[in-house]
């Protein structure tokens, strides 16, 4: 396919040079087809005497070459159009003669290869006057032009032509994306749709991952101007400086391996963006490592799944402000838009701040999903409602301040059928997880922040994995469901309170990390970024972007104090009904336990402190002297 980016009035001259047998004519013809300029083989301009001399096994001397080079120079001088010429041009003085008085822009392309490779190619050539016995004489006089574009002939003709196009036509791309999985492909189409020129790279694995980028580009017209690569060096060379490389690969060792390969190919001031779900501490380590090389690093959360990546995700970038300035326009262009048209992307903070915020987002997401699953289970198995009734009930909630993206998709999940059977009744009840939920709980433990609902949701997933053990346990204990009536109004109120508690916990964890790591995270701005594109977008989040400016501690804001006060009895009632019916509601129960503890000044920790002091002399503070020295008692 002809390159549509080439100006049809192009008058440049492309000299393909190198020793005989290196592939000048083959590359020249392939380039001609790609950019629609005429190709001329320099061998066709040799006088008969030269051809006869080489055919007899004798190398040419400078006198022989003069008439030949003059003829090629005349061709170029008389041509009004651009053209491609294959000519050995082994010495600098030959190249000077070829380009003498030429006013057109000249590109020199030198095809480089080792002697044995070229010799073996020449042996297989048929009916060519230049025999392999003359190859050494060509290497003997070769003067490699340091100003030429050097192409290694070990690569395919297609790759060589692509390299020539990139370097001579200055088709440098604005952004390079590595990793063409589901999310990578969707983001690539999103970037291209916003007018951002792309180079795409996917690793080459013969038989399973070959020509992934090329085939992907050919499948979508929006990617017509994108470049596909399987060679990392060529991929990097195709990018404008400062280069921006976006990684959409599996978190962990693959990210480090790719970074190691990129470091020697990048320059100071270039930028690597990790858009996967990497651990925030690893993001900080990678930032420090790349900083030592003068390379910028951004660890960014990208939320919204496949559809969000394509149509507009919520993006949470963290790193140095200077690094974000490089990629700001591109990231904000592809992000979802909030209710006022603003981009759901914004600078989060230094180091691992972006990935930390995305991690907590996922932890909160676990709990939001678990709430709906527990309510479904309570209605289905304890109250005895059918799936359609539950879907219809949830639909009424979407007309209220309970509405959220997760509520909407849950309705669709409940209504989906396969052969007139609800699909949820066919899906195996073993929930998966990809690590961010557990990382959230671990981070909360390290920072000393209670995230009961997030952790309960995580452990509920873990426990679901023990399907076989649960099957055998049911045989031992029998089914535990006892049919009970569920107050649907109380259920809606309980759900509202539980969600507020869940959001409070996640937000407190982000605040704690921000203070501990000096990230200076703007939580109202994070809430705004979460109003669209991300999985936990909701009516509640629209409120939070405003309310958190008024009071950073959610459960102390007057609006939510009022909602929780009015809904506490409903949450207690629903949890009691669930317990008496034998329905497991770990997340709803954890929300209740958290808030009961939160709103009671007197806890039971005095007993814990007494116990600790008894067996370990860990000491304790006294109520009548709370800031004084600690105390120890001889208990026995």
508/523 Cα distance (integer angstroms): 10
Is 358 an active-site residue?
yes
Give me the half-sphere count of Cα atoms (radius 13 Å) on the Cβ side of residue 104: 23
474/490 Cα distance (integer angstroms): 30
Cβ within 8 Å of residue 27, ≥6 positions away: 16, 86, 109, 111, 151, 157, 160, 161, 164
351/349 Cα distance (integer angstroms): 7
308/302 Cα distance (integer angstroms): 9
Among 350, 358, 496, 545, the active-site one is: 358
- Compute and round to an integer the Cα radius of gyration of the chain: 34
404: left (phi over 0), alpha (psi -120 to 50) or beta: beta
Is 322 an active-site residue?
no
Cβ within 8 Å of residue 237, ≥6 positions away: 163, 166, 167
Among 234, 365, 368, 542, the active-site one is: 365
The pair of structure tokens assigned to 95 is: 């190249």
Place of tokens 């596909």: 228
Q: How far is CA 164 from CA 129, 200, 203, 337, in A?
A: 28, 17, 21, 39
264/293 Cα distance (integer angstroms): 9
268/367 Cα distance (integer angstroms): 42
394: phi then psi, degrees, rounded to nearest 5: -60, -35
371/378 Cα distance (integer angstroms): 11
As a three-state string, the secondary structure of 403-470 is CEHHHHHHHHHHHCEECCEEHHHCCCCCCCCCCHHHHHHHHHHHHCCCCHHHHHHHHHHHHHCCHHHH
- 620 burial (CB, 10 Å; 0-12 / 13-18 / 19+) is middle
Residue 246 is classified by DSSP as: E
By annotation, the residues acting in catalysis are: 358, 365
């Amino acid at each position: 396919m002809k390159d549509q980016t080439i100006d049809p009035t192009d008058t440049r001259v492309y000299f393909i040079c190198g020793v005989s047998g290196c592939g000048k004519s083959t590359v020249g013809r392939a380039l001609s087809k790609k950019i629609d300029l005429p190709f001329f083989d320099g061998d066709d301009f040799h006088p008969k005497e030269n051809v006869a001399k080489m055919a007899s096994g004798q190398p040419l001397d400078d006198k022989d070459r003069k008439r030949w080079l003059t003829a090629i120079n005349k061709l170029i001088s008389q041509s009004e159009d651009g053209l491609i010429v294959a000519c050995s041009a082994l010495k600098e003085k030959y190249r000077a003669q070829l380009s003498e008085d030429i006013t057109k822009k000249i590109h020199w392309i030198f095809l480089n290869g080792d002697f044995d490779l070229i010799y073996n190619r020449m042996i297989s050539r048929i009916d060519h006057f230049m025999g392999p016995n003359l190859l050494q004489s060509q290497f003997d006089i070769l003067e490699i032009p340091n100003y030429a574009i050097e192409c290694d002939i070990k690569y395919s003709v297609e790759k060589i032509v692509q390299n020539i196009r990139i370097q001579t036509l200055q088709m440098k791309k604005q952004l390079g994306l590595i990793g063409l999985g589901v999310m990578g492909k969707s983001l690539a189409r999103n970037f291209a749709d916003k007018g951002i020129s792309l180079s795409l790279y996917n690793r080459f694995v013969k038989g399973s991952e070959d020509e992934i980028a090329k085939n992907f580009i050919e499948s979508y017209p929006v990617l017509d101007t994108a470049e596909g690569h399987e060679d990392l060096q060529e991929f990097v060379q195709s990018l404008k400086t400062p280069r921006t490389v976006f990684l959409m690969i599996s978190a962990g060792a693959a990210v480090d391996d790719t970074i190691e390969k990129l470091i020697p190919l990048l320059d100071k001031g270039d930028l690597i963006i990790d858009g996967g779900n990497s651990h925030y501490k690893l993001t900080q380590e990678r930032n420090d490592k790349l900083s030592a090389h003068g390379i910028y690093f951004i660890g960014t959360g990208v939320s919204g799944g496949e559809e969000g990546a394509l149509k507009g995700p919520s993006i949470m970038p963290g790193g140095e402000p200077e690094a974000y300035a490089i990629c700001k326009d591109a990231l904000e262009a592809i992000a979802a838009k909030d209710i006022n048209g603003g981009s759901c992307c914004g600078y989060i903070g230094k180091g691992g701040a972006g990935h930390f915020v995305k991690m907590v987002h996922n932890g909160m997401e676990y709990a939001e999903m678990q709430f709906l699953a527990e309510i479904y289970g309570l209605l289905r198995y304890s109250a005895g409602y059918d799936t359609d009734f539950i879907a219809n009930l949830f639909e009424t909630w979407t007309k209220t301040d309970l509405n959220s993206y997760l509520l909407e998709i849950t309705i669709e999940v409940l209504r989906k059928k396969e052969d007139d059977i609800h699909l949820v009744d066919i899906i195996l009840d073993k929930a998966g997880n990809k690590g961010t939920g557990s990382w959230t709980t671990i981070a909360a433990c390290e920072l000393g922040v209670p995230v009961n609902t997030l952790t309960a949701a995580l452990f509920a997933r873990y426990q679901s994995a023990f399907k076989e053990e649960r099957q055998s346990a049911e045989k031992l204990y029998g089914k535990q469901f006892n049919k009970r009536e569920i107050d649907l109004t109380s259920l809606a109120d309980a759900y509202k309170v539980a969600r507020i508690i869940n959001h409070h916990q996640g937000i407190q964890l982000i605040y704690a990390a921000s203070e501990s790591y000096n990230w200076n995270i703007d939580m109202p701005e994070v809430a705004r970024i979460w109003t669209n594109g991300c999985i936990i977008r909701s009516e509640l989040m629209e409120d939070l972007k405003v309310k958190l400016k008024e009071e950073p501690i959610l459960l102390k804001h007057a609006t939510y104090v009022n909602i929780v006060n009015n809904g506490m009895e409903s949450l207690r009632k629903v949890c009691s009904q669930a317990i008496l019916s034998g329905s497991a509601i770990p997340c709803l129960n954890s929300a209740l336990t958290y808030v009961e503890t939160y709103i009671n000044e007197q806890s039971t920790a005095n007993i814990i402190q007494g116990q600790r002091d008894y067996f370990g002399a860990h000491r304790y503070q006294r109520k009548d002297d709370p800031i004084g020295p600690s105390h120890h008692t001889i208990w026995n």
